[in-house]
Amino acid sequence: MYMYSRFWPRGGSSGILHHYTETLVTFEYTSSSARQPHSILFVGGLGDGLATTSYTADLVRALQPTEWSFFTLNLTSSYQAWGLGHLDRDTDEIAQCIRYIKSYKNAKYGYSKLILMGHSTGSQCVLHYLSKPNPHVFVPPFDPELEHVERLALDGAIMQAPVSDREAIQWVLHHGFGGKSGAELRSVYEKLQTMAKDAALQNPTSDSMLPIWLTSQIGYPSNTPLSCRRFLSLTSPESPESPSDDDVFSSDLTDEQLRKTFGMIEHQGLLKHKLMVLISGADQSVPDWVDKEELLSRWKNATNLNRMTGKWDEVHSGLIPDASHALSNDDQAEPRKFLVERVLGYLKRME
């Protein structure tokens, strides 16, 4: 989901900038004197990039005296490029970064653990990483140069603020946005949907761009190009019967659909410990008709299809009271503290 952070402490942070591919980098928050064999790799949401999610500063400070260092990364789809991206490429690049970090830490310490943590659409990347065939089997006609890589198993996984982009747009169409009523925006939305479907039929092997002057009217950033393909994936017009790749967190998805995502985590065998899921209690991207507690319960049930070996962390998963989507408002000190305590508890349980 595209939400931008407002808070970040002044002064800067020390660490190491690593190239995990020729053109992509990951930044490790650490010092030369720290002994930190283990790693948390953090993936932000739409519009995020290197160190742009503000609450990660709280996590970095909390991890300083521990054996865990914190990594943030750039993807091809970072910043304003998310409108051209897709989850297969994102998770393939994340897999490359994980391979680099594991190799780097193993060479330095002889052993290492790694947790993948996603915020917002980063949570979609976590779920995609854990539930899809390894390596990916789909060859996208619009991205013919993509080479799928085998994904390493994760020691742990965390999802924070997993939200439905489809329901977020429906929320905008219901309440209006930017001085326009919901009815006015629905007319724009239907026009965009028709344009996107026509382009997908006429030219499925390449991306076509939607007019920014139209996409910005329904809440997408005015500085971000959005392809017809990604628009259809985010808004998923065939849902809930046939959800797109990006539509994995909507509240109206059937239990059968959830078994194809959450229910595949144990089957794929890419998660050694448990999955921790935190929903922001006052997430402005979640419509008021969504029962967050019920949604968490359904995700847990889908993840724990095998009750004896279920992969859901019941101890640390839950709602963050009064938390906004990115915990970035001026009144979010307590929600950020709650988040940090849950993450530290999760790490302690792993150790």
Query: Residue 6: which pLDDT band, with cuts at 50, 70 and 90?
Result: very low
User: According to DSSP H, which parts of 260-291 are helical?
Assistant: 265-268
Amino acid at 316: H
- 258: tokens are 């959830």
Average pLDDT rounded to a whole number, residues 322-327:
96
Rounded-to-integer distance, Cα 27 and Cα 9, Å:
17
276-313: per-residue pLDDT in tens? Answer: 999 999 999 999 999 999 999 999 999 998 777 789 99
Q: What is the pLDDT of residue 89?
A: 97
Q: What are phi and psi of 28, to 5 degrees?
A: -105, 120
Sorted by where each starts, the structural domains of the chain and their CATH numbers stand as 15-164+250-350 (3.40.50.1820), 167-235 (no CATH)
Residue type (1 letter), 135: P
Interior/surface letters 197-224, b for 16+ CB within 10 angstroms, e for the rest = eebbeeeeeebeebebeebbbbbbbeeb
Average pLDDT estimate for 320-343: 96
Evaluate the CA torsion angle 156, 54, 29, 315 in order and state its sign: negative
Distance CA 231, CA 62 (A): 38
How high does pLDDT run on average in the chain? Answer: 94
Which has the higher per-residue pLDDT, 289 or 6? 289
Q: Which of 289, 263, 249 is nearest to 120 (CA)?
A: 249
Question: Is-contact 88 138, C-beta < 8 A?
Answer: yes
What is the dihedral angle through the alpha carbons of 4, 10, 13, 17, rounded to the nearest 10 degrees? 50
- Does the structure show a pLDDT above 60 at 7? no
The beta-strand segments (E) located in the chain are 15-19, 25-29, 38-43, 68-73, 114-119, 156-160, 275-280, 318-320
Per-residue pLDDT tens over the stretch 113-149: 999 999 999 999 999 999 999 999 988 899 988 999 9
Q: What residue type is 114 in one-letter code?
A: L
Over residues 153-205, the pLDDT tens digits come to 999 999 999 999 999 999 999 999 889 999 999 999 999 999 999 998 998 88
Q: Kindly list the distances between the CA atom of residue 28 and the CA atoms of 19, 40, 319, 346, in Å, as whole numbers in the listed order.
A: 11, 9, 28, 20
Q: Does position 5 have pLDDT exceeding 50, yes or no?
A: no
In the block, tokens 């190239």 appear at 19
**Tens of pLDDT, residues 238-258:** 999 999 999 999 999 999 999
DSSP 55-94: THHHHHHHHTTSSEEEEEE--TT-GGGGGG--HHHHHHHH
In degrees to the nearest 10, what's the CA dihedral of 296, 297, 299, 301? 160
pLDDT for 4: 44
Confidence of residue 33 (pLDDT cuts 50, 70, 90): confident
Q: pLDDT tens across 51-98, in order?
A: 899 999 999 999 999 999 999 999 999 999 999 999 999 999 999 999
What pLDDT sits at residue 306?
A: 75
